[in-house]
Structure 1
Amino acid sequence: MTSTNISTIFFTGATGYIGGTVLTRLVDHPTFANFEITLLIRPSKKDKISTFHSLGLNTVLGSYNDLDILEEQASKADIVFSIADVDNLAAAQAILRGLTKRYDATGQQPLLIHTSGTAVLVDDAKGLHPTDVVYDDLNPDQIETLAITQPHRKVDVAIVDADKRAYIILPSTIYALAKTKFVDLGLQNPRSQQIPRLIRAGLLKGQGGMVGKGENVWPNVHIDDIADLYIVVCENALSGKASHGREGFYFGENGEHKLYDLSKVVAQELYNIGRGKSLEPTPFTEEDYNRPENFGIS
């Protein structure tokens, strides 16, 4: 991001946990004056538009179901940050069509920085054992062995096949509260999903829970580190140093945890406040999984 030319950016997910933190990095970037950023804002968040405008950001009202809007905005962009609704194939295809139009109009290939997730690596161990398989984002042949039925995979493959200079970032379990100016202004969700979801499931169960024996191991990353990764990838993409397409997968992780250890902390805290029966986590049951509020625990 060292060019003195104005770069037009279309940005989705600005009010989200990841998106708002990445957007903060862009607004605080030393070359922010060289950006013209347009945010996709859902109708339910339209009360936030005037505040975004006061920060020098443009907005367009719409959602990932408004395919014409996605295509049109992508057709005007040098860079698209896609950080919302990562499993929406139709939305991804609309953005890709817009980027094709941009290329046809300018002769310059725009960049797509798309958000996927390490759930694409999930197996069927059901918490009974860890895996010996270590995935490497420098090994595209290995990544291509992932089945199309894996979470996020259909969208990832569509983007790779189109390869409009696409860079796919795969956050792992993100932790810590987001502490940004957008949080302070009430524009951004400050919390992650996975760990709060596990806590909520424990509250509903009346006991800290885990999947199976909790032997499943997940990578993790701090919210600030994953936001930095987006900017590092973007900067290196603009300078031609970042690989894209089938070689353009970037895992966001800087550690790992066993789910038993995390579930045990949840169980202890629930017990301490009188909302759990035991200091030890117990396996989730079919009844727990079938509660609509527990969607997504794994």
Structure 2
Amino acid sequence: MVRLIFATGSKNYPYIEFHSKDRRQEATKMHQIDKPRIFITGGTGYIGGSFLHLMLSRDYLHRYDIAVLVRRSRDAELLSAMGVTPVVGTLDDDHLLNSQAAQADIVFNTANCDHRDSTAAIVSGLALRKSQTGNCSILIHTSGAGVLSDTSNGMGVALAHDTKAVIWDDADAEAHAKIPYHAPHREVDLEVFAASRKGTAKTYLVVPPTVFGVGLGPFAEQRMSIQIPRLIYQSLLIRRAAHVGTGENVWANVHVADLAELYLLILDAALAGRAPEGAAGLFYPVTEHFTWLDVAKRIGQELYEQELIASAEPVTGLPQGWFWGSNVRLRSSNGSALGWQPKSGGTETMLKSIPQDLALVLNMARQARSA
């Protein structure tokens, strides 16, 4: 049996909490205790769902009231059964995001690194909370390593032919501050930095590179990363594995399980006052580096073995640009200082995970056709 409790949210998405019958008494007791509140966007996604799984497996619920933005009612019911408060809405629901942020001691924003309006609504809510309570909440925002691609020419060439491509170190806040406004994700990141400068929130920017691996928990395990699955999809469309230029350009990678660990390390360090914040609160998680040519070769091999393309050999021809054509190398000084150590594998593991990515892409295509 499920009980739906409607409270004021917005005209499009009322605030909804679900409590199964056998959890009502427990939920009541939990709300009687004044626990810090965590609000998560993207908590049923690939990255957010993975660190939410770690939170629940490590009993964060006994220390925090955790609320997650969710679109689908079936996901809301599953969250409720886990003891998490589902907040039904979308990133376009500014009023809802504002009100939830205004109630939160900690916000993880992991849903969409290019959705400026939702980030602005969250920051506005945190500003309201600061003005009403005097408390400065924690905002851990997810950007993406594309923001670090501006020094690269994006032509899919080796480092010898892309001489302005630098190694980005997250301890170098001065270099990050010089990133131009037009860089990918930068417009949204600046909203986060502004919140720190104004004293609205203590902010921390996580800048993941190519994320790979099977997500953790019931939500994330069926979700996809971005770059490699999209390259698989593009290869299916043109019936050939492909890359930009020579494909010898280098990118950084990190396993989603290691990335999830970093989020919790940042949270714990932020609460203890041990993490750099604001302009210095940068985290570039990296395990190893790889070339997109190697990825294209592995995709070609897998598609060919499954008789989805006629040749395993990749070809050049993808459009130039940062997404698959830039050189992005990282150093995780700030993460290492917090004790972060990736343990789930690097490039070899990433290449071996491509069949799983292909399965998810094909399943997505089947669902789209049947919709």
Aligned 8 A contact 2:61 2:83 in 1: no
2:119 is the alignment partner of 1:99? no
Displacement, 1:137? 0.6
Distance in 1, Cα, partners of 2:142 & 2:174: 20
- Letter of the structure 1 residue corresponding to residue 147 of structure 2: V
2:160 is the alignment partner of 1:160? no
- Letter of the structure 1 residue corresponding to residue 105 of structure 2: D
Alignment of 1:48-87 (within 5 A): 48-87=75-114
Return the index of the structure with the highest Cα Rg.
Answer: 2
Aligned 8 A contact 1:15 1:188 in 2: no
Aligned equivalent of 2:303: 270
Match of 1:213 among 227, 235, 246: 246
Alignment of 1:218-233 (within 5 A): 218-233=251-266
Displacement, 1:276? 2.9
Displacement, 1:193? 2.1
Distance in 1, Cα, partners of 2:222 & 2:285: 20
Q: Percent of pairs identical after alignment?
A: 33
Alignment of 1:173-184 (within 5 A): 173-180=210-217, 182-183=218-219
Displacement, 1:93? 1.1
Structure 1 stretches of 5 or more lacking a match? 290-295
Structure 2 stretches of 5 or more lacking a match? 1-32, 326-371
Provide the secondary structure at the position in 1 that maps to 2:207.
strand
- Letter of the structure 1 residue corresponding to residue 251 of structure 2: W
Match of 1:170 among 207, 212, 226: 207
Aligned equivalent of 2:68: 39
2:54 is the alignment partner of 1:21? no
Aligned equivalent of 1:192: 225
| 1:13-37 CA distance string (max 9 Å, x none) | 0111111001111112244301101
When normalised by structure 2's length, the TM-score is: 0.72
Aligned equivalent of 2:335: none
- Letter of the structure 1 residue corresponding to residue 47 of structure 2: I
Distance 1:279 1:189, change over 3 A: closer
Provide the secondary structure at the position in 2 that maps to 1:138.
coil
Aligned equivalent of 1:293: none
Aligned 8 A contact 1:120 1:150 in 2: yes
Distance in 2, Cα, partners of 1:136 & 1:204: 36
Aligned 8 A contact 2:156 2:324 in 1: no
Distance in 2, Cα, partners of 1:50 & 1:278: 45
Aligned 8 A contact 1:114 1:169 in 2: yes
Aligned 8 A contact 1:10 1:79 in 2: yes
Count of matched residue pairs: 281
Distance in 2, Cα, partners of 1:157 & 1:195: 27
2:144 is the alignment partner of 1:117? yes
- Give the CA RMSD over aligned residues: 1.9
Distance in 2, Cα, partners of 1:275 & 1:209: 14
Distance in 1, Cα, partners of 2:318 & 2:120: 38
- Letter of the structure 2 residue corresponding to residue 109 of structure 1: C
Displacement, 1:159? 1.0
Provide the secondary structure at the position in 1 that maps to 2:267.
helix
Displacement, 1:230? 0.4
Displacement, 1:278? 3.1
Q: Tell me whether 265-274 or 237-246 shows the greater mean CA deviation.
A: 265-274
Aligned equivalent of 1:243: 276
Displacement, 1:204? 1.4
- Letter of the structure 2 residue corresponding to residue 157 of structure 1: L
Displacement, 1:61? 1.3
Distance 1:171 1:207, change over 3 A: same
Displacement, 1:248? 0.7
When normalised by structure 1's length, the TM-score is: 0.89
Displacement, 1:179? 3.6
- Letter of the structure 2 residue corresponding to residue 193 of structure 1: I
- Letter of the structure 2 residue corresponding to residue 228 of structure 1: E
